[in-house]
Chain A
């Protein structure tokens, strides 16, 4: 038998109760030792493809699978997932959900116990795996107390101890902050390069994995699959990281897949952009310009000018738009000073934060997991407990009040919050019922919420169960419910989790639109590209304190962790997104 790692022969999958197939006539070979990246929009069947490779589809999920799936010669028709456990390791999106035991060491051993390996072998492999992951000091730690990146590495380690030949990872970094994602990606590349394990990884955030991939598998919405070398597939893919989009727009060949490639290809573009945008030669500094404070100040001056003589890029236009629709508010809509939030166990989550939110502005709240972003949002909304500090919400017409002193109904009319697990807000069995309930809750004319939803996500059937909506539609529904109360301040906690790029673009437009109507929006997020798309201002938090606060370009361009790809390619220029570049230099593209 030839030793391909994974072979799919004309595979079609029809899920139980569905009319059409999710995967259609898929022929795919993954060679041993390869890193294959699976991309595609939400709901396109990425997870189904991975499920088919480990036997979960159809043994666990139900449905019908036509064709044949071979994993190192084992047919999934005759082998259930548990019979493939020694061959295929599966790592999911939420590491905590898959943990069986509660300490690192026991979790690493669990799979081996099931395979019946001798005690001495287990002991040795646990130690080896702790070293491979670089976490020997965590051996006795409780799994729930680890950071997200550490948890995901333990999850990878727990399948690694069984010495599988293939590891499948379904969106391993989508729940992690950039640093945690880097840890996990470093571990994955280590597996491919040092241990020659075959890795198949599905990922929304293509930009994080693309430059490591040997092969890209693109799953289209109709269930067909394109396989090829990364540059080839990316040339036409509907999911592409900003560097690829920039490369496509600028017509670079070969198509750059990493910031490094793009930066080298962009030398000419940077010069032309500098001249087209009408700046003097001082705008094209040396290679270290990005870190040069004088340059940032220069950009800031440009950005903060409310009446730019020459709208040289999109960002300026935006800025002008928002200042035009709502007069630059001298008094902020929300004023917080000295906010302190404590959690049980003497943990200080927010350590005396002063923050003002202005009307017509989208503020992004960034920082690693556990830096206090969520706690701060809950404190600003008033539903979360605060240990000290004061929060005042009020507009030019209404007197300022402390939202925590209001009752929940009035509170949500002042400050709306979309929590991290947004679907917690939904409990009825149809979209229509949720909308009607929302109208009732805020005593507004019937149909208000439905109208909002129709604007945010057109074509959501009113009789659909909220659980059956796509991630983007769910978020739109929750957003519509919260906007029904028409709060002047809207806070969102990690809204982009699980959204594909098109859903993210819709959300960005929605938020910009809200700001343009004079609302104040604050978003806690890890997604730097999303921030580049929609935020006017970025506040960076660390250990419960605000460590940076300023216009988006100023804060993110110089930051290694928070700079979007386009900014890295075009630094020190103030362009953050491909759209910025497009409108800045319409004539530059060849």
Chain B
């Protein structure tokens, strides 16, 4: 097999992969599987992330995960229900009135309870790492570009607001500096008004300029459907979204009649898709260099789905293997099917094309600092 040319894998494929992994992780508290999943996401991110700023943000998600585990442990010691038999730390316990029965303030800390809390924290941390991996691997702006055409204008608005945020920070900084020139230290509530007013004015002015520029470049040029059709589209989307909501409720709540569950959800999704298609029919915008959907995308998406499927199968056949044995404390099992599923999810690290190398940075103006 020849080496594929470097290109960015479709952002939707990465999101599918990450969601699959997150689903797999959410079924288990088995530390072996959790750590394996974390290793898989880290490996893929390290191998296939691009050069954009958000690609470097993965480590922030890891830090966030660690913080979650730590907070979970602290909370367990402070207010958690302490269970188990191996005493770790004898602590005094505060007597609480009967209405606060679910909370145990202080009290002896046992190994089993602490371990259980840590594993629940770890599970959440790994799920967050999966989302972080999707963010690092898939350029969110490119994801917006592949939205259905009915949502094109919403997508453009999101892109613009994302790029406005740094400008806003810049204005605040500029105005704060300017305030100093008038002998104003820039503290306290009064300073907020002095800074907010020029910044707001500045932002409004810029938005108007941008709106005028976008108008002159043809934004919103097509997409004027006849009145009747617009109403029909609106109704279809609304009914579709309602059905989706009811269907989701039905799926999650086991006591509702079966008809309210999956069938309603499917109908809702179909109606929403129909609405998007109807709305998008009149929009005649195109996409410059659209991301293709080829083998690598199927492989990425498939590996994520497989990981989720494998753990689901294990959950049905041998649910005990997915849990950490705490009572009595034991060695966690190693369910081969789940491990195989997670290992498959690591394949995109080697089988997808490499991300494109960034162009060598050209000489830029000196005043703007560029963190390499």
**A interface residues with partner B (beta carbon < 8 Å):** 54, 56, 59-60, 80-86, 88-90, 92, 94, 97-102, 105-106, 109-119, 122-123, 126, 137-141, 144-148, 158-159, 162, 343-347, 349, 369-372, 374-375, 378, 381, 383-384, 407-409, 411-412, 416-417, 419, 421, 423-427, 438, 441-442, 467, 481-482, 485, 543-544
Smallest CB gap from B181: residue in A: A417
Contacts A370-B367, A371-B366, A375-B367 hold; do A114 and B221 have CB atoms under 8 A apart?
yes
On chain A, the residues within 8 Å of B179 by CB distance are 424-425
24 contacts between A and B (CB under 8 A): A56-B216, A82-B217, A85-B217, A92-B212, A97-B206, A100-B159, A112-B286, A114-B221, A116-B222, A118-B286, A122-B286, A144-B166, A343-B368, A344-B371, A346-B369, A347-B369, A370-B366, A372-B366, A407-B185, A408-B185, A412-B182, A423-B198, A427-B194, A441-B183
User: Once bound together, how far apart are the Cα atoms of A102 and B177, in whole Å?
Assistant: 27
Q: Contacts A100-B156, A544-B366: A113 and B287 contacting too (C-beta < 8 A)? A: yes
A408 in contact with B183 (CB, 8 Å): yes
Partner of A383, one of B177, B213, B371, B372: B177
**Which residues 341-372 of B have a CB within 8 angstroms of A?**
358-359, 361-362, 364-372
Produce 1/0 per residue, B191-204, CB < 8 A to A: 00110011001000
Q: Are A147 and B365 in contact (CB under 8 A)?
A: yes
Please determine whether A109 and B288 come into contact, CB atoms closer than 8 angstroms.
yes
Q: Contact: A114 with B216, CB < 8 Å?
A: no
B95 within 8 A of A: no
The CA of A485 and the CA of B183, in the complex, are separated in Å by 10
Q: A56-B216, A81-B212, A126-B288 are in contact. List 12 more A-B contacts (CB 8 A).
A: A92-B213, A100-B217, A112-B288, A119-B287, A122-B288, A123-B289, A137-B359, A159-B216, A343-B367, A347-B366, A408-B181, A427-B193
Complex Cα gap A100–B361 (Å): 22
Indicate whether A81 sits within 8 Å of B175 (C-beta atoms), given known contacts A106-B288, A113-B286, A426-B198. Answer: no
Kindly state the separation between the CA atoms of A381 and B182 in the bound complex, as whole angstroms: 12
Contact status B285-A425, CB under 8 Å: no
Query: Given A100-B160, A100-B214, A427-B197, A145–B370 Cβ distance below 8 Å?
Result: yes
A97 cross-chain contacts in B, Cβ below 8 A: 206, 209-210, 213
Roughly how many angstroms separate A139 CA and B356 CA in the complex, as a whole number? 14
A141 to B219, CA, bound (A): 23
Q: Separation in Å of the A464 CB from the closest CB of chain B?
A: 16
Is B215 touching A81 in the complex (CB atoms < 8 A)?
Answer: yes
- Assembled-state Cα–Cα distance A115/B221 (Å): 8
B2 contacts A by Cβ under 8 Å: no
Cα–Cα distance between A97 and B183 once the two chains are bound (Å)? 30
B221 touches A85 (CB 8 A): yes
Give Cα A442 to B193, complex, Å.
20
* A115–B175 alpha-carbon span in the complex (Å): 38
* B285 contact from A113, A139, A412, A485, Cβ within 8 A: A113
Q: Kindly state whether residue B218 has any CB partner on chain A within 8 Å.
A: yes
Question: Are A110's CB and B181's CB within 8 A?
Answer: no
Chain B residues positioned under 8 Å from A442 (CB to CB) = 183
Distance in angstroms between the alpha carbons of A581 and B141 in the assembled complex: 59
> Which of chain B's residues have a CB closer than 8 A to the CB of A116?
222, 284-286
Complex-state Cα separation, A140 to B141, whole angstroms:
15
B317 at the interface (CB under 8 A from A): no
A105 CB contacts on chain B under 8 angstroms? 288
B215, B217, B364: the one contacting A162 at CB < 8 Å is B217
CB B10 to nearest CB in A, in angstroms, measures 15
Q: Which residue of A lies closest to B219 (CB)?
A: A114
- The answer to whether A427 and B209 have CB atoms under 8 Å apart is no
| A145-B364, A347-B369, A424-B198 given; A408·B184 CB < 8 A | yes
**B174 interface hit (Cβ, 8 Å):** yes
B220 at the interface (CB under 8 A from A): yes
A54 to B212: give the CA distance in the assembly, Å: 11
B98 to chain A: which residues have CB within 8 Å? Answer: none
Residue ID in chain B nearest A375 by CB atoms = B367
Interface contact A100-B213, CB-CB below 8 Å: yes
Q: What's the nearest-Cβ distance from chain A to residue B189, in Å?
A: 14
- Cβ of B178 under 8 Å from chain A: yes
Residues from chain A with a CB closer than 8 A to the CB of B366 are 347, 349, 370-372, 543-544
User: Within 8 Å CB of B185, what residues of A?
Assistant: 407-408
CB distance from B303 to the nearest CB of A (A): 29
Knowing A60-B215, A97-B206 touch, does A146 contact B365 (C-beta < 8 A)?
yes
Please measure, in the bound complex, the distance between the C-alpha atom of A88 and the C-alpha atom of B221, giving whole angstroms: 14
Contacts of B184 in A (CB 8 A): 408, 441
The reply to whether B194 and A94 contact each other, CB–CB distance below 8 Å, is no
Q: Contacts of A94 on B, CB cut-off 8 Å?
A: 209
CB-contact partner of A370 in B183, B365, B370, under 8 A: B365
B289 / chain A contacts, CB cutoff of 8 Å: 109, 119, 122-123
A343 contacts across to B, CB distance below 8 A: 367-369
Give Cα A573 to B23, complex, Å. 81
Instruction: With CB as the reference atom, state the residue of chain A lying closest to B199.
Output: A424
- 9 tightest A-B contacts by CB? A345-B369, A85-B218, A98-B213, A109-B288, A114-B218, A424-B178, A116-B284, A409-B183, A370-B365
A531 to chain B, nearest CB (A): 21
Contacts of B359 in A (CB 8 A): 137, 139-141
Q: Within 8 Å CB of A371, what residues of B?
A: 366
**Chain A positions within 8 Å of B175 at CB level:** 424
Chain B residue contacts of A139, Cβ below 8 A? 359
Minimum CB–CB distance for B201 against chain A, Å: 7
